[in-house]
Amino acid sequence: MNQSDVIHVELGERRYPIYIGEDLLKDSDLLASHLTGGQVVVVTNETVAPLYLSQILDALASKPCVTVVTLPDGEQYKTWETLGSIFDQVLADRHNRTTTFIALGGGVVGDITGFAAACYQRGVDFIQVPTTLLAQVDSSVGGKTAVNHPLGKNMIGAFYQPKAVLIDTRSLSTLGDREFAAGMAEVIKYGLIADSAFYEWLLANKSLLKNRDPVALKQAITRSCELKAEVVASDERESGRRAILNLGHTFGHAIETFSGYGAWLHGEAVAAGMVLALKLSSLRGAATEHDLADLEALLSYFGLPTGAPVDMSLGDFMSLMALDKKVQDGRLRFVLLEGLGSAIVVSDVTEQELSRIIA
């Protein structure tokens, strides 16, 4: 691979590479270069396993102890109970502290595997091998790991960075259109919060992207990872700037919890949430009607929702958003735009403003 296929997340002694390319799943040398011991745990799910597990296992053929944990598929299984089932199998196979966990799948598998790696014997190495667009551009990078609680999404977890992220862009060929669109929501987010030129590029290249043109897609993934890596390196544990990555998420998490985990894909809820965030920004004069119309058209083009569930009231939003991790001292925090390509976090949004955007 050439240098341009590698981005580094600059976190000092926890610095790690993100590799982006075709057929990386088959690159046994690349994978091996990030494994320290002879023990490996591959965590995947019942949908991804038949598609890509054999490629990873071929690449691990020289390892004497490989345990495969195949989880049921779905956000509703991103739970404490599923986490326990991973430990059951890993302990039964006597994995020690030199083992490496590999997350092979979308964001659900990545988040739960990362959390399992953070907890197992107080922390073992892990590698992210994301296979959805959302996981490739967002969840596999930055070390946020978690499981859901019935009272709130991602409420139990840890910041725990992987040793490496291997993005095989070819794995997107089997992804359903709905899941692909959900990933595009996060790609669009990066343009809105951090790079207006990238946002313009997305508007101009939406048709190539929707058709999954490999060159355009790799460009979108690479730019998204660069932007995420830069934000994470500047504020790993979200004490400040990293919160801008949550554009639309305060609303989105409330939508996901309201609808029941799994009913809306995370990216779909973020899409609807970004429209609400832009409406708030527009109330404050930081976005125009034109910006809003462009965003709605772009999201719709990918088949993404542009509004909250019709039966979700302001009261539903208020009670669910009160549980958001971004609540500080009883005040809700929202990410708003200052203009295209620039975002800020505010904590002074009034219920009156919310009532104007949540019909």
Q: Which residues are catalytic?
A: 122, 144, 186, 228, 238, 242, 246, 249, 253, 266
User: What does the block give as tokens for 53?
Assistant: 């597990």
* H-only helix segments in the chain: 28-32, 54-59, 80-92, 107-119, 133-134, 177-194, 196-204, 206-210, 214-234, 249-259, 266-283, 289-301, 314-321, 351-357
Given the complex with ligand NAD, which of 56 and 287 has the nearer CB atom? 56
From 128, 131, 250, 257, residue interacting with ligand NAD (rule: CB under 6 A): 131
From 21, 191, 248, 267, residue interacting with ligand NAD (rule: CB under 6 A): 267
User: What does the block give as tokens for 68?
Assistant: 């495969």
Q: Closest distance between ligand NAD and the C-beta of residue 265, in Å?
A: 6
Cα(299)–Cα(283) distance, rounded to whole angstroms? 21
224 is a contact residue toward ligand NAD (CB under 6 A): no
**Partners of 159 in beta bridges:** 144
Q: Which helix (DSSP H) or strand (DSSP E) does residue 338 occupy?
A: strand 334-339
Given the complex with ligand GLY, which of 31 and 117 has the nearer CB atom? 117
Cα(162)–Cα(139) distance, rounded to whole angstroms? 11
Nearest residue (beta carbon) to ligand NAD = 107
User: Which does residue 265 bind out of ligand GLY, ligand NAD, none, counting CB within 5 to 8 angstroms by kind?
Assistant: ligand NAD
User: Which does residue 242 bind out of ligand GLY, ligand NAD, none, counting CB within 5 to 8 angstroms by kind?
Assistant: ligand GLY
Q: What burial class does residue 151 get, using C-beta atoms within 10 Å of its C-beta: 0-12 exposed, 13-18 middle, 19+ buried?
A: exposed
Given the complex with ligand NAD, which of 17 and 106 has the nearer CB atom? 106
* Binding segment toward ligand NAD, per CB under 6 A, in 172-180, 192-200, 234-242, 325-333: 172-180
* Binding segment toward ligand NAD, per CB under 6 A, in 34-42, 173-181, 187-195, 291-299: 173-181
| Residues 47-86 interacting with ligand NAD (rule: CB under 6 A) | 47-48, 51, 73, 75, 78
From 55, 100, 132, 281, residue interacting with ligand NAD (rule: CB under 6 A): 132
Beta-strand relationship, 164-168 and 125-130: parallel
Helices 289-301 + 266-283 axis angle, to 10: 170
Distances (CA, A) of 285 to 110, 243, 270: 38, 21, 22
Where does this chain bind ligand GLY (CB under 6 A)?
138, 142, 144, 242, 245-246
By CB under 6 A, how many residues form the interface with ligand NAD? 30
Given the complex with ligand GLY, which of 95 and 242 has the nearer CB atom? 242
Whether the Cβ atoms of residue 182 and residue 265 lie closer than 8 Å to each other: yes
Helices vs strands, H then E, count in the chain? 14, 11
Interface residue list for ligand NAD (CB under 6 A): 45, 47-48, 51, 73, 75, 78, 105-109, 111, 131-132, 134-135, 138-139, 142, 144, 154, 171, 174-175, 179, 182, 265-267
